[in-house]
Amino acid sequence: MSDTEGIKNDVEAADLGGEESSESKPAKEPKIDKLFRAMEKMGGSDLHFKAGSSAKVRVRGGLKSMSTGPMSDEKVRSLIFDIMNDDQQRKFHENGAMDFAHQAQGGSRFRINVFLQRGLMSMAARRISSEILDYSQLHLPPVLEKLAQHHQGLVLVSGITGSGKSTTIAAMMEQINKTRSCHIVTLEDPIEFQYEDKKSFINQREVGIDVHDFHAALKYLMRQDPDVVLIGEMRDQETFAAALHAAESGHLVFGTVHANGTAGTITRVLELFPQNARALIRSSLVFNLQGIICQKLLKTIRPDVPRVPCVEVCVVNATVRKLIADGRDSDILGVVKSSYGEGMLDFNESLRQLVEEEYISQEIAYAAAPNAEELKMKLKGINIAGSGIIG
């Protein structure tokens, strides 16, 4: 039986429109969980619903249809509201969108966003692995281990939505959990990876369940005696200011930013603040920023690895601090390119490695490259540093 036929049978067995036999699955199991299990069998990373369309699954970066047939708005609402509590439904109706997490019976955990489009209900659900993978399993550079060994400062992970930022931070959190006797506090919306205490003592706070919002959580953060802090997303001025304050106070802080590239990450942070406050924020970054990790997920040419991260890593050394202080953010990439020996990495070097290790094709690499001509030279063995050709 083909994979497609298997998925079709799973979806048909779910009987999304009718009542479930009391002799089959537990009566209280949400019907949507059967679709989640079918999605997992497809090797999918995301499940999408939209009124008027069949369900879609993202497999190896592309969308494939499930055999649900077009789903009415009523059916979509029924499936989704079945796994939302009253407060979540109220917030959805008030805001037109809602984030929450769901643990499927007999399956994986999912990060779910429900939203309205053209007045009808839609859903995007991201599957979260129950296993927290390490750097080698995630094909991430070993320098991330050194960044996670800091005891103070700020580490930022940037990229677009769906670029694997949460998975990368989870690997860093788990490294600390296994190696340090400390208190970790996470502020997430929603909680994605669930940690078990090892050497560390971990408290995970979910916005909307454990605390009303990020601002309320940040207000009490320093009273909770943390050593390491994870802020799920730094999306506004108050959140980032609190993160900087925690770093300045001697804590190690991790956070995610929606940006592309090292210089773009610094620009994104500064743009959160009014013009007259940016000099102070830049000064704080000079003293507290430890590293910036930027990443993209790319489709591979290997059947055993669906997608692989292309990574830019800037370790903030004395030269980088001087450039930040002088407002020369665009020059930082030149330092990254000439500092591979310190573990730094730019996107083109990461792409070169992925091509030579036969994870991705040259076509995919050129499409993802910030400078395709430079990448072509790298693949021919000509390396370019910030100051010119060096080999």
pLDDT tens for each residue of 148-190: 999 999 999 999 988 999 999 999 999 999 999 999 999 998 8
Q: Same topology for domains 3-128 and 135-389, yes or no?
A: no
Is pLDDT at 5 greater than 60 in this prediction? no
- In this predicted model, which residue has the larger pLDDT, 389 or 210? 210
User: Per-residue pLDDT averaged across 118-136, rounded?
Assistant: 91
Using pLDDT thresholds of 50, 70 and 90, give the confidence band for residue 28. Answer: confident
| Per-residue confidence (pLDDT) for residue 229, from 0 to 100 | 97
Q: How far is CA 250 from CA 153, 244, 246, 288, in A?
A: 7, 10, 7, 9
| Per-residue confidence (pLDDT) for residue 385, from 0 to 100 | 54
| Per-residue confidence (pLDDT) for residue 20, from 0 to 100 | 44
Using pLDDT thresholds of 50, 70 and 90, give the confidence band for residue 130. Answer: confident
- In this predicted model, which residue has the larger pLDDT, 87 or 382? 87
CA of residue 377 relative to chain centroid, distance:
31
* Of the candidate ranges 93-97, 135-139, 211-215, 360-364, the one whose mean pLDDT is the lowest: 211-215
- In this predicted model, which residue has the larger pLDDT, 207 or 196? 196
The edge-to-edge listing of strands for the beta sheet with 289-299 is 201-206, 183-188, 228-231, 252-257, 153-158, 289-299, 307-315
Is pLDDT at 223 greater than 50 in this prediction? yes
Compute the radius of gyration of the chain from its Cα atoms.
22
CB 44 within 8 A of CB 95: no
Is pLDDT at 390 greater than 60 in this prediction? no
| Per-residue confidence (pLDDT) for residue 21, from 0 to 100 | 44
Using pLDDT thresholds of 50, 70 and 90, give the confidence band for residue 241. Answer: very high
CB 350 within 8 A of CB 310: yes
User: Per-residue pLDDT averaged across 338-363, rounded?
Assistant: 96
Dist. CA 78–CA 81, nearest whole Å? 5
Instruction: Give me the residue spans of the domains in the chain.
Output: 3-128, 135-389
| Per-residue confidence (pLDDT) for residue 179, from 0 to 100 | 98
Please state which CATH number belongs to domain 3-128.
3.30.450.90
Is pLDDT at 10 greater than 70 in this prediction? no
| Per-residue confidence (pLDDT) for residue 388, from 0 to 100 | 42
Dist. CA 375–CA 354, nearest whole Å? 12
Please state which CATH number belongs to domain 135-389.
3.40.50.300
User: Per-residue pLDDT averaged across 130-154, rounded?
Assistant: 95
User: Per-residue pLDDT averaged across 303-314, rounded?
Assistant: 95
Furthest-apart CA atoms within the chain: distance in Å: 71
| Per-residue confidence (pLDDT) for residue 113, from 0 to 100 | 93
Q: How many other β-carbons are positioned within 10 Å of the β-carbon of residue 319?
A: 14
Mean pLDDT of the chain: 89
Is pLDDT at 232 greater than 70 in this prediction? yes
Using pLDDT thresholds of 50, 70 and 90, give the confidence band for residue 19. Answer: very low
Dist. CA 311–CA 355, nearest whole Å? 13
- In this predicted model, which residue has the larger pLDDT, 284 or 233? 284
| Per-residue confidence (pLDDT) for residue 189, from 0 to 100 | 85
